[in-house]
């Protein structure tokens, strides 16, 4: 299959392939931006020439598990953000998951990811997470979930660009006609269909979609441009949005205003209040009016941090059982929510063995790895957690599985995860055939963010 091709290329051929990929990424402008000390730096995203292979059976298992999590988390968001909790006539306004005793009330009401203003930002029955990402790793027992992202998940564009670059720069990899591999570009019509389904029910005709971005300052600006082009949708910013008399929204495209039914929102909730439209309206208020009047659908709906913070990650298996009546198909890393006194008591003497993560962290930021900390750092951590245990979750440390990666002309094992994307619409939930392999830049590293130096791989889903 792939082995004979790699053997024919040899170290020299693989090194040349890596250089060709770098040149192709440079030509295509496949970049990611980062910020440090108030300054933005833009770097080309490095790509390893050796694809990652996922066989059909493994992908089927993984896709089913990702779809299951996405369905359960959307059900949780719908429950938690139901106006006033339930019906006006109810004396108990708690979400059903709290009323059933599956979660304590504070786990929903006091989650740092909950946004009370987000209740009215989805039309009735709309999946609040149109697009989701699930980060997984391969273990001896199968796929294990590391994190969920239902806010503004990025990476689809990099998966598409990776395949395009690989075909152009290293055509030898695809020369074996006996190998049938899924095409990541097949994800585009699935994404477009889900975004179309995010249009409000009263939308006349074919919904019109636009991609909403902050602009060049966003770390994934390249991806925003690529996806807008792939979707055949205009790429707009706050300065391009205008209100209509009926509460709808028009966008300025090439000097003309076009009515829009769905905005594929590609920047964080926290940035909504910081932007104003040409008419002077706050962006968040303009979008809220569009949804409230039944003229606009947002994908994703703001407030989804409630479903993907570290505290919620710990209870996803419970949510799957409660909302779907199913057993979880994918494993999770064992995690303790320290706001629960019993769970805090269980691990308070084990902090040196565990990973401590603030509950308001996004994407694992701020995590402290006990086994890698000094005695002084552990003492400070112990004091901080003991004073405010509700601010943290603790989890078992995990070592990322490795994939063969070209390092200085030699294939070496490097830690990697796999980001799998899924979409939800009126017809259900679907995993996209465009997963993204992210490889840590050094042996033993846990960094898989391309903005911090991680490498990407083309991921082959074998048919």
Residue 147: the pLDDT is 95
Cα–Cα distance for residue pair 162/47, rounded to 1 Å: 7
Residue 215: the pLDDT is 92
8 A C-beta contact, residue 224 and residue 158: no
By the 10 Å C-beta count (0-12 exposed, 13-18 middle, 19+ buried), 77 is classed as: buried
8 A C-beta contact, residue 62 and residue 135: no
Residue 85: the pLDDT is 44
- Alpha-carbon radius of gyration of the chain: 23
Which helix (H) or strand (E) element contains residue 444? Answer: none
Neighbours of 117 (CB within 10 A): 12
Residue 137: the pLDDT is 95
Instruction: List per-block mean pLDDT (blocks of 10 residues) for the chain, which spans 463 residues.
Output: 83 93 93 79 91 96 98 97 63 86 93 91 95 94 94 96 95 80 97 98 94 92 96 96 94 92 94 89 93 96 95 96 98 95 94 91 74 88 92 92 93 96 96 97 87 92 93
Core vs surface per residue 315-328: b (16+ CB within 10 A) or e: bbbebbebbeeeeb
Q: Which residue has the tokens 């910020």?
A: 35
8 A C-beta contact, residue 261 and residue 208: yes
Residue 36: the pLDDT is 72
8 A C-beta contact, residue 243 and residue 288: no
Residue 283 Rama label (left phi>0; alpha psi -120 to 50; beta): alpha
> What pTM does this model have?
0.94
């Amino acid at each position: 299959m792939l082995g004979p091709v790699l053997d024919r290329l040899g170290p020299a051929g693989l090194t040349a392939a890596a250089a060709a990929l770098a040149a192709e990424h440079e030509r295509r402008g496949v970049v990611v931006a980062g910020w440090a000390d108030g300054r933005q730096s833009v770097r080309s995203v490095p790509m390893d020439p050796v694809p990652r292979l996922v066989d059909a059976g493994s992908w089927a298992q993984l896709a089913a598990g990702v779809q299951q999590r996405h369905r359960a988390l959307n059900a949780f968001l719908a429950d938690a953000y139901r106006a006033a909790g339930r019906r006006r006539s109810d004396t108990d306004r708690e979400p059903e998951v709290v009323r059933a005793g599956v979660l304590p009330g504070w786990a929903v009401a006091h989650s740092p990811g909950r946004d009370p203003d987000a209740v009215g930002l989805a039309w009735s029955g709309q999946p609040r997470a149109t697009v989701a990402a699930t980060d997984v790793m391969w273990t001896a027992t199968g796929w294990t979930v590391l994190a969920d992202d239902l806010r503004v998940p990025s990476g689809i564009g990099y998966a598409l660009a990776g395949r395009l670059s690989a075909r152009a720069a290293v055509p030898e990899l695809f020369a074996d006609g006996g190998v049938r591999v899924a095409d990541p570009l097949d994800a585009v019509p699935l994404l477009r269909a889900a975004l179309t389904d995010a249009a409000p029910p009263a939308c006349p005709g074919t919904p019109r979609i636009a991609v909403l971005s902050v602009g060049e300052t966003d770390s994934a600006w390249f991806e925003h441009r690529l996806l807008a082009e792939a979707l055949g949708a205009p790429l707009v910013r706050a300065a391009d949005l205008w209100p209509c008399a009926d509460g709808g929204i028009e966008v300025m495209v090439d000097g003309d205003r076009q009515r829009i039914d769905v905005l594929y929102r590609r920047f964080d909730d926290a940035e909504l209040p910081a932007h104003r439209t040409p008419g002077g309206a706050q962006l968040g208020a303009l979008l809220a009016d569009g949804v409230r009047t039944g003229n606009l659908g947002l994908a994703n709906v703001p407030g989804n941090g409630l479903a993907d913070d570290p505290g919620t990650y710990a209870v996803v298996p419970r949510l799957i059982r409660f909302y779907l009546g199913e057993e979880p198909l994918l494993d999770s890393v064992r995690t303790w929510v320290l706001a629960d006194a019993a769970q805090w008591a269980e691990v308070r003497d084990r902090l040196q063995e565990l990973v401590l993560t603030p509950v308001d962290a996004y994407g694992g930021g701020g995590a402290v790895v006990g086994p890698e900390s000094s005695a002084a750092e552990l003492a400070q951590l112990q004091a901080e957690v003991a004073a405010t245990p509700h601010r943290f979750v603790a989890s078992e440390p995990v070592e990322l599985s490795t994939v063969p990666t070209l390092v200085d002309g030699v294939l070496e094992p490097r830690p990697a995860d796999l980001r799998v994307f899924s979409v939800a619409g009126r017809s259900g939930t679907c995993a996209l055939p465009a997963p993204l392999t992210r490889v840590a830049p050094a042996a033993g590293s846990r960094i898989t963010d391309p903005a911090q130096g991680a490498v990407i791989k083309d991921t082959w889903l074998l048919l």
